[in-house]
Amino acid sequence: MRKARVFISCGQGDAREKGIGLKVFDHFDTRGFLPYFAERVHSPESLTEHVFKNLSESEYFLFIDFEREEFTDDKTRGSLFVSQEIAIATYLKIPGVGFYEKRIKREGILNYQIYNAIPFSDEAELYGQLEKVTGEWDVNSVNELRLSHNPNNVSRNYILRNHPQKPKADWWHIEVQNRHKSKHALSCLAYLSSIEDLRSQKTIEVPSIELNWSGLGVSSVNILSDRKREFDAFYAIHGEDRLRFSTRAITTTNPRYKMPVLGNGLYRLQYFVVADNFELADQTFMLDFKGNLQSIEFYALDS
């Protein structure tokens, strides 16, 4: 599983400044983080491809602001690039800290002290504070939802109450883990995006219908920080040789909007989960069904 990403916004006016940035990069790399040292870009395309993308994907933000041109009151300006990246990180609400050389005048967005910023006069002072102010950053707290299946977590012999005959059914679940330690995943929706029948080498059409979350019968949930929830991957009614999918209620009788029913076969299934405030999470699973409940093998492929 990937580790937390740290976006390092750092002046690069000369070899000294770039060297400090690279040492900070090595500091986080040694601790197991995935640091990104923001190189200067000079076009809207590069800004979008590099700065925006890496900032939006980062769990932590750290800036180092170096002195630039002087004012008349023995103060200097800071880096324009760093100020821009602070503004973007602020908008994205990325937690972080900063360092700035002591003569820099705090103006513009810096004047609002949005990030805890520590003045420094030399490299030793900066490095001495770095571990202290970032020591609580968690390398395993990431903006990620992770899908998995526990083969021991199958719900068996439960009555299907919305069926006229009230038969018993077995249910296979997919766990969705919120890997962030403090951010809740909001309005999570689960989908089955594709089914490939590997024996017949055919692709089975799947409508874009939300799957139900296990035990709730609803299609949207919140997943609290550092917690898991499950949605129904598929279920099997006792006495049938078919596998079915549990979805939110559909009022139309149009067959285009009906989920497929699977018989004996070897299938590759792609599931994914979307949330309001997390990246899309997806995972491919293999399903081997030989026509009876005891024969079902269901497992995630290595991603």
**Domain map (residue ranges) of the chain:** 5-134, 145-300
Environment class of 45 (CB within 10 Å of its CB; exposed 0-12, middle 13-18, buried 19+): exposed
What contacts 126, CB < 8 A, 6 or more positions away? 20, 64, 99, 120
- Tell me the HSE value of 111 on the side-chain side, using a 13 A CA sphere: 5
Q: How far apart are CA 88 and CA 204, in angstroms?
A: 43
Q: Which amino acid is at 260?
A: P
> Residue 47 is encoded by which pair of tokens?
């800004």
Q: Which amino acid is at 286?
A: M
What contacts 160, CB < 8 A, 6 or more positions away? 166, 167, 168, 169, 235, 237
Asked whether residue 295 carries a pLDDT value surpassing 90, the answer given is no
CATH topology of domain 5-134: Rossmann fold (3.40.50)
Closest CA to 27 of 99, 91, 88: 99
- Return the bridge partners of 183, or none: none
Average pLDDT, the chain: 89
Q: Which amino acid is at 99?
A: F
Asked whether residue 12 carries a pLDDT value surpassing 90, the answer given is no
Environment class of 136 (CB within 10 Å of its CB; exposed 0-12, middle 13-18, buried 19+): exposed
Of 149 and 215, the structure prediction assigns the larger pLDDT to 149
3-state secondary structure (DSSP) of residue 227: coil
- pLDDT tens per residue across span 84-116: 888 889 888 899 999 998 887 776 666 665 688
What contacts 280, CB < 8 A, 6 or more positions away? 272, 273, 274
Q: Which amino acid is at 5?
A: R
Residue-wise DSSP of 119-186? EESSHHHHHHHHHHHHTT--TT--S-EEEE--TT-EEEEEE-TTSTT--EEEEEEEEEEE--SS--EE
Residue 267: the pLDDT is 97
Q: How many contiguous H segments (helices) and E segments (strands) does the chain have?
A: 5, 15
Which residue pairs, CB below 8 angstroms and at least 24 apart, start in 116-119?
Answer: 117/63, 117/65
Residue 127: the pLDDT is 93
- pLDDT tens per residue across span 177-204: 999 999 999 999 999 999 999 999 999 9
pTM: 0.83
Residue 111: the pLDDT is 64
Of 16 and 69, the structure prediction assigns the larger pLDDT to 16
